Structure 1
Amino acid sequence: MAETLLERLKARLDENELSDGKLQEIIDDVTQEVLSDTNQSELNLQLSSAVVSLSVITVNRIGTEGLASEGYSGVSTSYLDDVPPRVASILNANRRLGVWEDEDESIT
């Protein structure tokens, strides 16, 4: 039996304190963003992988949204501003062109 996106996300996170409900909300939000970005109606295997990867990033950024960089005693932290290149290539490979309809065509 195939693992659910939630099970796959939990396997990648180290002892996360978020409930399954919160993690599922994150997965749902990221799924909608991926489907919208690629103009797809459902996830395929590659897009499911992208959703899990982006969900991990989202979980890891909770509480640090908007943080550009931070430094303490010589230790500095910075965050990516964009989608990692590997995930971006998956999204680009699965991007579908939209169907454009002329609204005036229905008027005769």
Structure 2
Amino acid sequence: MELKEQVKLITGNTNDDLVSLMLDKAKAEIESYLNVDYDTRYDNIAVDIAVLKINRLGSEGLSSQGYSGASESYIVGFPQEIRMQLDRFKKKWGVL
């Protein structure tokens, strides 16, 4: 299944332009994090990052929010699951 179709299926978002943009941004972030050119072996991670980006729209970086006390906390970087996937590629391919 094409990456764009995977993201659409997981998120329920059918906006082709938005899904394509988020996939492009995800691929660029993978390249930057690993300091390598994008390869199809990173496709699963790209889908995960694109889904995360689409799900965060409108609340970018917000990890929790309190209502009565008005407290908020924000996510810094990738979630642990995505970092673990990326770090495996760093170790496996000697990108460190």
Q: Same fold (TM over 0.5)?
A: yes
Shift, 1:79, TM fit: 6.1
Query: Once the two structures are aligned, what percentage of the paired residues are identical?
Result: 28
Task: Find the aligned partners of 1:39 and 1:26 in 2 and give their Cα distance.
Answer: 19
Aligned pairs for 1:6-17 (under 5 A) are 6-13=4-11, 15-16=12-13
Count the aligned residue pairs: 92
Which segment drifts farther, 79-88 or 54-63?
79-88
Query: Which runs of 5 or more structure 1 residues have no equivalent in the other structure?
Result: 99-108
Task: Find the aligned partners of 2:21 and 2:55 in 1 and give their Cα distance.
Answer: 15
Query: Which runs of 5 or more structure 2 residues have no equivalent in the other structure?
Result: none
> Comparing both chains, which one has the higher relative contact order based on Cα–Cα distances under 8 Å and sequence gaps of 6 or more?
1
Shift, 1:68, TM fit: 4.9
Aligned pairs for 1:80-99 (under 5 A) are 80-95=75-90, 96-97=94-95
Task: Find the aligned partners of 1:80 and 1:67 in 2 and give their Cα distance.
Answer: 6
- Which of 67, 82, 105 lines up with 2:62 in the alignment? 67
1:10-52 Cα shifts (integer Å, max 9, x gaps): 1111x32x6111110010011011012112212233x211111
Which residue of structure 2 aligns with residue 56 of structure 1? 51
- Asked which structure has the greater CA Rg, the reply is 1
In structure 2, the CA distance between the partners of 1:68 and 1:89, relative to structure 1 (3 Å rule), is: closer
CA-atom RMSD, angstroms? 2.7
- Within the alignment, does 1:36 sit opposite 2:52 as a pair? no
SS in 2 for 1:35: helix
TM-score (norm 2): 0.74
TM-score (norm 1): 0.67
Please identify which structure carries the higher helix content: 2
Task: Find the aligned partners of 2:50 and 2:85 in 1 and give their Cα distance.
Answer: 15
